[in-house]
Amino acid sequence: MRHYTIPIFIPEIACPNRCKFCNQQKISGTFRQPTRDEVISIIKRNLSTIPEGSEVEIGFFGGNFTGIDLELQREYLELTRKYTDEGRVQGIRLSTRPDYIDHERLQMLKSYPVKTIELGAQSLDEEVLKLSGRGHTVEDVVRASALIREYGFELGLQMMIGLPGDSLEKSLQTAVQIIELGAGCTRIYPTLVIRDTELEESYKKGCMHLYHWRKLFPGRR
């Protein structure tokens, strides 16, 4: 069975700080939160192109979903209920920060057909997190991961290789810890220098400790 994800981007409307590598507007091409009508239009447009009999999920990406106001979270999720009730969509996926996971948020999400919660861990090395301006700790990731699994959601953990202060050893250790935390899926991103970020300023000044992926993985193309 083919699997499809309908992506809905909600850029940075709830992030407590901007990571040194991040500019969600430039990455996603989205400069404001989508309206109710826009979300419905995105879902309908994508469903019209997906073959019948496929496994379909709706994904809320881009920002810190569980950090936005609970009523706004409910509003977005309510828009998906019609499609899950009809069987046209089998579940919801969302991405968020590990420091915005708690019992209240997870209890609310359990009342909707949310199946997977992806955490932007990026690294499980304290120095890398600090140098990247993530604003959370390794312990936040560990705690949030355990809570997500306790509530019966599939856990996704995102990691980035080549962040400031990173090394091959640190990236490999992060990968090992992601497995140990019970992630059912993961996304591995290379660090890119995006315009209008702190990382770009460091790059221009020649003072950033950014490991190129070929240094991390020599011999790989």
- 3-state secondary structure at position 195: coil
Q: Say what the pLDDT of residue 10 is.
A: 84
The structural domains of the chain, with segments of one domain joined by +, span 3-216
CA distances from 22 to 1, 10, 76, 163 (A): 35, 14, 24, 11
Helical H runs in 57-197?
A: 70-85, 103-110, 126-131, 138-150, 168-180
Q: Can you give the pLDDT of all 221 residues of the chain as single tens digits? A: 899 999 999 876 656 666 666 665 555 555 578 899 999 999 999 999 999 899 999 999 977 899 888 999 999 999 999 999 999 999 999 999 999 999 999 999 999 999 999 999 999 999 999 888 788 899 999 999 999 999 999 999 999 988 888 899 999 999 999 999 999 999 998 887 778 777 767 767 666 554 444 455 555 54
CA distances from 114 to 41, 132, 135, 143, 206 (A): 20, 30, 26, 20, 43
Q: Say what the pLDDT of residue 134 is.
A: 82
Q: Say what the pLDDT of residue 156 is.
A: 97
Half-sphere exposure of 43 (CA within 13 A, CB side): 26
Q: Say what the pLDDT of residue 135 is.
A: 83
For the domain made up of 3-216, give the CATH fold.
TIM Barrel (3.20.20)
